[in-house]
Structure 1
Amino acid sequence: MLFLFRWLVRVFTGLAVLAAVVLLVGYWFLSRSAPDYDDTLTVDGVTGPVEIVRNTANVPHIFGETDEDVFFGLGFAHAQDRLWQMTLLRRTAQGRLSEIFGSRTARTDELLRRLDLYNLAADSVEVQDADTTAALRAYADGVNAWVSEVNAGALGRGAPEFWLFSPEIAPWTPADSLAIIKLLGLQLSAHVTEEVLRARVSLALDDDARLEDIMPEAPGNGIAALPSYASLVPGAEAVRHASLDTGPEPALSPLAPRGFGGASNAWAAAPDRAATGGTLLANDPHLGFTAPAIWYLARVELESGGVIGGTVPGMPIVLVGRSDRIGWGLTSSYADDQDVHIERLNPENSSEVLTPDGFKPMRTRTSIVRIKDAADLTLTLRWTENGPVLPGRHWDLGTITPPGHVASIAWTALSPVDTSMSAALALMKSGSVDEAIEVSEGFMAPSQNLTVVDGETIAMKVIGALPRRRDDHQSKGRLPTPGWIEANRWDGMLPYATNPEFVAPEGGILGNTNNKVIDRPFPMHMSYHWGDTQRVQRWRRLMQGREVHTRESFMEAQLDTVSYTARSLLPLVGAELWFSGEAAPEGTPERLRQRALELLASWNGEMNEHLPEPLIYAAWMRALQDRLINDDLGPLADEFTHVEPLFIERVFRDVGGAAAWCDVQQSAREETCPEMARLALDDALVWITERYGQGLESLRWGNAHEAVHEHPVLGTTPGLGWLVNIRQSTSGGDNTLLRGRTKGTMPDPFLNVHGAGYRGIYDFADPESSVFIISTGQSGHPLSRHYDDLSELWRRGEYIPMTLDPDLARAGATGVTVLLPEETEEDRAAEIE
């Protein structure tokens, strides 16, 4: 027995030692790709020394003798910290994910090939101005210089992910950078999704008046009722009850689900509304959370001066930030820059579609998608005069496309002469509000609200191309329309001068929360679909509640968690429920309902992570909307994953007969809205108690509303998720200024998956007191201390300072990378002489 025990100890010890050795070797290999930030390297592509000075938060301050050298340094820094992220973005834009991930990304690749974003980006390289062309080439050289260092020094393939997937890295090119800005445009697009869903709901509802309830216009002067989709497209009734089984969500798809097509906050104060007498600007753009974040903080010292703020690895621009002369922020404008066209095929020749001038052939091209461990996928790409033709499995187009027809997409980003990059670079170098607005004319897509300040003035300008639609457009861009009818086609673009513009407003305050910014009659309108009708109400109150603002008051507004939506809906929905129930013994559903109502009755609408009321409220409104729409929409109700506040309000105020939603069509009796509210609260409480227990007072919103920063590739891999994902309890919600957009789908509908990955506040009375933060860390390397070192600051609502003082940057340096030019034959000859 003793002998057996000794051998078991030896075997166990041997296995433990072996496991330790394997872990140490694995750690050594993976850690090799973590860059040394304190180094001097000789590289090809710079004309003089380049300094990359990194502070304690790993924010690089880049200095060089020329702008090209500085952009070289930015490319080098991006590649050091985010090489995997950059190559993944590039592969997505190219439609080449399946080469390393296999069949699970084939649908994503197919979509990107059909949209042809990468080839359009390559064509656009030729139309950039000289400064941008030079910047793009220098940036690409910087990226490639780091890749050369990785290869020459055997630096762990450049990122840990390359040990699991193909380590081959093609040289970076200017087209790659232009493709990424188009890819961001795709992530921010929302109107195709909205058009298709509106058409599907139109077909599903028996009463067209109810369409404006569930998909209402933003408040303000509107338009007359639209025709039904069935009356627009011949044969649409044939797909009235069609369902499309597209399988699981395509992996790594850049398409945002409905409600996630971009959001953001930005506001500014003129000197007479600022306590310090200088302009103020706050901006927090919202995107889906990932680890690492899409944002990367950087400072570049250009010949025109220093610029610091948020960059996106892969592009040589500071997208949001400040110089010593101006500060600028971006929010999604929700301009209607997309249209879906239903194209009629020639019954005798399916390669032709009907046009106003008769049947014409579509442009076609073959493209081959290479798929790892599977047969290649050969695609026939087709374009009509309106845009690329997409199969029905994308955007659910098959549910609205009648037999004998196909769907095509018109979108401003599908341009081979896109000068958005040149405009963005010129914006960085602008010296005033007027100049910033002027140079932004070349920005095409995605359309944005540019909020910009200088030392004296504040302004907001909608930038990006806006389509010119004809007065007699059949759906005014709100529904898919027949592509062969001339009235439904775009007539070029509107002049940039007609884009909404607000300069030096009389009240001294302006801002945007993706709300409706202007109300002009069609076709000079901007959109009928907006990203916010709720946050703007809270913002207006906070801005008007002070005579003057400070950096700190702008911080408070960015971090505000009070839900105007909760404050307005709860009294309306619960009007007949508050304190009206009969006495009920403990442990009964009636008593649980009373306790929930008592908590909500004294709640101020603050979506605080430590409170139980936000969870009760959110679960109640979600259950209520489900009860209202499930019997009317059937399976289509699953598309409405988030509470629609205007819908709930219309129903409970019975606007235009909207209370009809409260009656269950399949039941013989007529249900009332108060009855639906009570039943929905019981539904919510059953779900809460099954998930969290009956102790309502001990509930925490933060347990349900965790921010999930997930690694796009490894995040769902068993055993690796704990290393690469970042999860945090957070406050806020769908409709608070501290916006934490919830997932919306079971089993965890309230996970926080979309919000402010970047926050910046700039005070031009004291620019060096400006601050910013991102949601994760600067490094994309999971073993780096900079992978998540900023995430806890972000969660707590804290910031780090933003300096353009070179001496301060160098004084606080934790590492300095010096890039020296390679010695040429002329240099060596000069040394000998």
Structure 2
Amino acid sequence: MATFFQWLMRIASGLVILVVLAVAMIYFLASRSLPTYDKTFTASGISQPVEIIRNNANVPHIFGNNDEDVFFGLGYAHAQDRLWQMITMRRTVQGRLSEVFGQQTLEIDTLMRRLDLATAARMSVSAQDPDILIALQAYARGVNARIEEVNQEALGRGAPELFLFQQTFAPWQPADSIALQKLMALQLTGHLQSEVLRARTSLALPDADRLRDILPDAPGKGIATLPKYANLVPGTPVFAQSQPLPAHPLSPFTPLPLSGASNAWAAAPSRSAAGGTLLANDPHLGLSAPAIWYLARLELQSGGVIGATIPGIPAILAGRSDQLGWGVTAAYVDDQDIFIEELDASNPESYRTSTGFKPFKTRKSIINIKDAKPVTLTLRWTDNGPVLPGSAFNLAAVTPPGHVASLGWTALSPQDRSTTALMGLMRATDISAALATGKDHTAPGLTLTLADQNDVAMALIGALPRRDAIHQSQGRLPSLGWRPENQWQGLLPATDTPTFEKPSGGILGNTNNKIVERPFPRHISFLWGDSQRIQRWQRLMQNRRVHTRDSFIEAQLDTVSFSARALLPLIAADLWYTSEAAPDGSRARQRQRALALLSEWNGEMNEHMPEPLIYAAWMRSLQSRLIRDDLGPLAEEFTHVEPLFIERVFRDVEGAAAWCDVRQSARMETCSEMAQLALDDALLAIEERYGQQLEALRWGDAHQATHDHPTLGKVPLLRYFVNIRQSTSGGDNTLQRGKTAGVGDNPFLNVHAAGYRGVYDFADPDSSVFVISTGQSGHFLSRFYDDMAQLWRRGEYIPMSLDKELARAAAVGVTIITPTP
């Protein structure tokens, strides 16, 4: 027996030693790719030495003898910190993920090949201004210099992920940067999905008049500028089974409720306490680790610029110079249309046009798949755009037999000059110059908010399709592609996009809300991203005669839900303190406790409070009860609460209270009954997951920010090192937006929020501040992988200074790149 235990101990000790050695080896290999920031080396592709000073937050301050060398330095810095992110995004837009990840990403690749954004990007290279093309080429040389350095010095393949997903990849090209911008356009538009959902809902509803309730238009004439200071007074086919979008973490096809959001506002000197202009911006995208954003400062010939970039794109997309600040928000322009194309019954390779049948334009495309045989696709195009499969975006549900669906989309233009427009912003010195360069922008449609030394302005930038005034569906539903009145007639002139300059009230802003009311076809959009946050923003802006940097920060971090304040008194009007006494532990008593908590609540979606969770669960259950009997399985598509719908129902606007009656029951149910039943549903769901003690609930336990690694985030054990989870405040309709998942075991996870926040004060530009949601590095062993995450969660910022010596004084490293002799 003693011998047995001795051998058992030896085996156990040996296993422990092997595990330790394996962990040490993994750490050694992974750590090889940790960047060294304090060094000097030579590289080809530059004319004079380039200096990259990384401040104590690892923000690179890049200096060179000319703009070309500075963009080289930015490419090098991007590749040094985010190489894996860049090549993975490039593979995504090219439809080549399956070469690395196998069958699990084939659906993504198939759809990306059919959209063919990579080809459109290559064709758009020649459309850029000569100086922009030179900058793109210099940036690509900088990326490739880092790749060459990694290969020559055996620096761990450049990123730890490349040990797990070994691959070869081509040198970076200017077209790759343009392609990533088109990938951003894909993530920020939802009109394709909106058309399909509207069509499916209209088919499913027994009462067609109810479509305006569940898919309401944003009310009002539009909000962009505020009036002079005044205190606000309180006050055809058969329904088909749903085909979900590719659910892989690398999928760029985001659900409609997550198709883009942001905030931006600005104040003129007359509304600024210090007498300088102010600008705040926080673009909202899906959360990830690392964040999509990367902070950088460039010293161009026109002056220094600093702000947020996306690795792979050589532009400060949101930031400032000494003379100008700019912020971007998703504009929700109606830049997509679905066309139903009739096939020739005798030749399915032809489709109907206004002058007869015509062959599809076709091209073969081969998708190589890891550990599987390649798949060959036949890509098809009509005059309206690429043909998409019925399995994508639920198109089969709205496409009759003998027809296919094609997509018209401005981002598919081979003459897309958006890169020239966005890079041109960095060289603009005032609002007039920024507005001029913005007119080159094609996609995605953005609302550009500007502040220079003297004034503020806002403009919609992006191409708008020219539609016929007699279009059959006004672009709101899939339409017949061979009808001339449905086809695009080119683009509206850039001068037709709304611009707001020199606001009389001194303040303007955008929360993805409706900004103008114009008749079709100059309507801009029927779909807007917000009708709630804008109400809270108006209140905060007009509650003060003048603003400061800190008041703009306070508004950026505001977590009060206008929706909660507006809906609760309406929904619970017949429930407050009206029920009979009930014993402890009963459903009625639990309901009373919940209502008592909500009756004293001010609508603040604070992570430490129970009321936000009760409210969110209640509204979710209520909408489900109202629509499920009418929509059936389609109700699953409405994953997020629409406050305008709830309000219409409980105010019985145009008969909307009909939603409260259950169609299948004999009696007539009231809205108050539905509200009470929904509250019981919500409380039961809360008890099953979080317990019965309502007062002990924390919204932050449910509303955790999910900064998950797209490829390693689900790997056992490793996920605890690469994912960043945080308890967060805010919600779907707060200015500090934390959009919930809407699906899954925990539908309240925070999955879509402000990955970047910046506030610029031109009375004292170096007092401007910014932050991103994780850290600068994409390497999970780096201390800069998550060093800003807690700052972001707590609502803190880091200085946004263009002072070179200040950056040098607290530098974590200085890289000198000298030209190869």
TM over 0.5: yes
- The DSSP-based 3-state class of the residue aligned with 2:666 is coil
Counterpart selection for 2:316 from 301, 311, 318: 318
Find the counterpart in structure 1 of residue 46 from structure 2: 46
Once residues 244 and 733 of structure 2 are traced to their aligned partners in structure 1, the CA distance between those partners, rounded to angstroms, is 31
Opposite residue 756 of structure 1, the aligned amino acid is A
Once residues 434 and 243 of structure 2 are traced to their aligned partners in structure 1, the CA distance between those partners, rounded to angstroms, is 47
Find the counterpart in structure 1 of residue 227 from structure 2: none
- The DSSP-based 3-state class of the residue aligned with 1:112 is helix
Deviates more, 1:471-480 or 1:726-735: 471-480
Once residues 748 and 247 of structure 2 are traced to their aligned partners in structure 1, the CA distance between those partners, rounded to angstroms, is 19
> Which residues of 2 match residues 245-260 of structure 1 at below 5 A?
245=243, 249-250=247-248, 252-260=250-258
> Which residues of 2 match residues 222-371 of structure 1 at below 5 A?
236=236, 239-245=237-243, 249-250=247-248, 252-371=250-369
Once residues 352 and 25 of structure 2 are traced to their aligned partners in structure 1, the CA distance between those partners, rounded to angstroms, is 64
The answer to whether the 8 Å contact 2:605/2:699 transfers is yes
Displacement of 1:498: 1.1
Find the counterpart in structure 2 of residue 457 from structure 1: 455
- The DSSP-based 3-state class of the residue aligned with 1:317 is strand
> Which residues of 2 match residues 118-129 of structure 1 at below 5 A?
118-129=118-129
Identity %: 64
Once residues 246 and 789 of structure 2 are traced to their aligned partners in structure 1, the CA distance between those partners, rounded to angstroms, is 31
Matched, 1:504 2:502: yes
Displacement of 1:357: 1.2
- Alpha-carbon distance change, 248 to 463 in structure 1, aligned in 2, over 3 angstroms: closer
- The DSSP-based 3-state class of the residue aligned with 2:739 is strand
Matched, 1:82 2:82: yes
Find the counterpart in structure 2 of residue 415 from structure 1: 413
Opposite residue 786 of structure 1, the aligned amino acid is F
Find the counterpart in structure 2 of residue 829 from structure 1: none
Find the counterpart in structure 2 of residue 695 from structure 1: 693
- How does the TM-score come out when normalised to structure 2? 0.98
Displacement of 1:251: 5.5
1:170-209 per-position Cα deviation (integer Å, ceiling 9, x unaligned): 1000010010000000011110010000000000011110
Opposite residue 38 of structure 1, the aligned amino acid is D
Displacement of 1:246: 5.8
Find the counterpart in structure 1 of residue 677 from structure 2: 679
Deviates more, 1:247-256 or 1:351-360: 247-256
The answer to whether the 8 Å contact 2:40/2:815 transfers is yes
- The answer for unaligned runs of 5 or more in structure 1 is 223-235, 824-833
Opposite residue 638 of structure 2, the aligned amino acid is F
Once residues 10 and 784 of structure 2 are traced to their aligned partners in structure 1, the CA distance between those partners, rounded to angstroms, is 40
- The answer for unaligned runs of 5 or more in structure 2 is 223-235
Find the counterpart in structure 2 of residue 760 from structure 1: 758
Once residues 15 and 359 of structure 2 are traced to their aligned partners in structure 1, the CA distance between those partners, rounded to angstroms, is 68
Displacement of 1:31: 0.3
Find the counterpart in structure 1 of residue 29 from structure 2: 29
1:455-507 per-position Cα deviation (integer Å, ceiling 9, x unaligned): 00100000010111111011111111101111111111111111000001000
Matched, 1:138 2:175: no
Displacement of 1:220: 2.2
Displacement of 1:13: 2.1
- Alpha-carbon distance change, 549 to 119 in structure 1, aligned in 2, over 3 angstroms: same
- The DSSP-based 3-state class of the residue aligned with 2:588 is helix
Once residues 50 and 652 of structure 1 are traced to their aligned partners in structure 2, the CA distance between those partners, rounded to angstroms, is 63
Find the counterpart in structure 2 of residue 776 from structure 1: 774
Find the counterpart in structure 2 of residue 233 from structure 1: none
Find the counterpart in structure 2 of residue 198 from structure 1: 198
Once residues 392 and 446 of structure 2 are traced to their aligned partners in structure 1, the CA distance between those partners, rounded to angstroms, is 25
Once residues 242 and 485 of structure 1 are traced to their aligned partners in structure 2, the CA distance between those partners, rounded to angstroms, is 26
Displacement of 1:268: 0.2
Counterpart selection for 2:623 from 625, 635, 641: 625
Once residues 580 and 738 of structure 1 are traced to their aligned partners in structure 2, the CA distance between those partners, rounded to angstroms, is 35
Once residues 388 and 18 of structure 1 are traced to their aligned partners in structure 2, the CA distance between those partners, rounded to angstroms, is 54
Once residues 762 and 182 of structure 2 are traced to their aligned partners in structure 1, the CA distance between those partners, rounded to angstroms, is 32
Displacement of 1:806: 1.3
The answer to whether the 8 Å contact 1:104/1:251 transfers is no
Once residues 171 and 790 of structure 1 are traced to their aligned partners in structure 2, the CA distance between those partners, rounded to angstroms, is 31
- The DSSP-based 3-state class of the residue aligned with 1:599 is helix
Find the counterpart in structure 2 of residue 524 from structure 1: 522
Once residues 472 and 570 of structure 2 are traced to their aligned partners in structure 1, the CA distance between those partners, rounded to angstroms, is 37
Once residues 691 and 183 of structure 2 are traced to their aligned partners in structure 1, the CA distance between those partners, rounded to angstroms, is 44
Opposite residue 527 of structure 2, the aligned amino acid is H
Opposite residue 50 of structure 1, the aligned amino acid is V
What count of residue pairs does the alignment treat as equivalent? 808
The answer to whether the 8 Å contact 1:53/1:815 transfers is yes
- The DSSP-based 3-state class of the residue aligned with 1:287 is strand
The answer to whether the 8 Å contact 1:157/1:167 transfers is no
Once residues 313 and 84 of structure 2 are traced to their aligned partners in structure 1, the CA distance between those partners, rounded to angstroms, is 14
Once residues 247 and 717 of structure 1 are traced to their aligned partners in structure 2, the CA distance between those partners, rounded to angstroms, is 22
Once residues 424 and 781 of structure 1 are traced to their aligned partners in structure 2, the CA distance between those partners, rounded to angstroms, is 28
Displacement of 1:250: 4.9
Find the counterpart in structure 1 of residue 231 from structure 2: none
Find the counterpart in structure 1 of residue 229 from structure 2: none
Once residues 298 and 246 of structure 1 are traced to their aligned partners in structure 2, the CA distance between those partners, rounded to angstroms, is 37
Counterpart selection for 2:802 from 804, 808, 823: 804
Find the counterpart in structure 2 of residue 102 from structure 1: 102
1:61-93 per-position Cα deviation (integer Å, ceiling 9, x unaligned): 000001010000000000000000000000001
Find the counterpart in structure 1 of residue 114 from structure 2: 114
1:664-683 per-position Cα deviation (integer Å, ceiling 9, x unaligned): 01111111100000000000
- The DSSP-based 3-state class of the residue aligned with 1:137 is helix
- The DSSP-based 3-state class of the residue aligned with 2:668 is coil
Displacement of 1:356: 1.2
Opposite residue 216 of structure 2, the aligned amino acid is P
Once residues 249 and 102 of structure 2 are traced to their aligned partners in structure 1, the CA distance between those partners, rounded to angstroms, is 10
- The DSSP-based 3-state class of the residue aligned with 1:528 is coil
The answer to whether the 8 Å contact 1:386/1:410 transfers is yes
Opposite residue 257 of structure 1, the aligned amino acid is P
Opposite residue 103 of structure 2, the aligned amino acid is S
Matched, 1:152 2:152: yes
The answer to whether the 8 Å contact 1:263/1:513 transfers is yes
Matched, 1:572 2:570: yes
Find the counterpart in structure 2 of residue 645 from structure 1: 643
Displacement of 1:287: 0.2
Once residues 264 and 750 of structure 1 are traced to their aligned partners in structure 2, the CA distance between those partners, rounded to angstroms, is 19
Displacement of 1:362: 1.3
1:142-191 per-position Cα deviation (integer Å, ceiling 9, x unaligned): 00000011000000000001001123121000010010000000011110
Once residues 245 and 771 of structure 2 are traced to their aligned partners in structure 1, the CA distance between those partners, rounded to angstroms, is 38
Matched, 1:740 2:738: yes
The answer to whether the 8 Å contact 1:244/1:393 transfers is no
Once residues 311 and 430 of structure 1 are traced to their aligned partners in structure 2, the CA distance between those partners, rounded to angstroms, is 17
Find the counterpart in structure 1 of residue 220 from structure 2: 220
- The DSSP-based 3-state class of the residue aligned with 1:388 is strand
Find the counterpart in structure 2 of residue 602 from structure 1: 600
Displacement of 1:244: 4.4
Find the counterpart in structure 1 of residue 170 from structure 2: 170
Displacement of 1:354: 1.1
The answer to whether the 8 Å contact 2:245/2:253 transfers is no
> Which residues of 2 match residues 475-554 of structure 1 at below 5 A?
475-554=473-552
Find the counterpart in structure 1 of residue 225 from structure 2: none
- Alpha-carbon distance change, 565 to 591 in structure 1, aligned in 2, over 3 angstroms: same
> Which residues of 2 match residues 380-419 of structure 1 at below 5 A?
380-419=378-417
- The DSSP-based 3-state class of the residue aligned with 2:470 is coil
- The DSSP-based 3-state class of the residue aligned with 1:442 is coil
- The DSSP-based 3-state class of the residue aligned with 1:292 is coil
Displacement of 1:12: 2.1
The answer to whether the 8 Å contact 2:95/2:110 transfers is yes
The answer to whether the 8 Å contact 1:107/1:250 transfers is no
The answer to whether the 8 Å contact 1:777/1:791 transfers is yes
Find the counterpart in structure 2 of residue 785 from structure 1: 783
The answer to whether the 8 Å contact 1:705/1:751 transfers is yes
Once residues 528 and 425 of structure 1 are traced to their aligned partners in structure 2, the CA distance between those partners, rounded to angstroms, is 30
The answer to whether the 8 Å contact 1:353/1:362 transfers is yes
Displacement of 1:249: 2.8
Once residues 485 and 278 of structure 2 are traced to their aligned partners in structure 1, the CA distance between those partners, rounded to angstroms, is 45
Once residues 221 and 266 of structure 2 are traced to their aligned partners in structure 1, the CA distance between those partners, rounded to angstroms, is 26
The answer to whether the 8 Å contact 1:462/1:501 transfers is yes
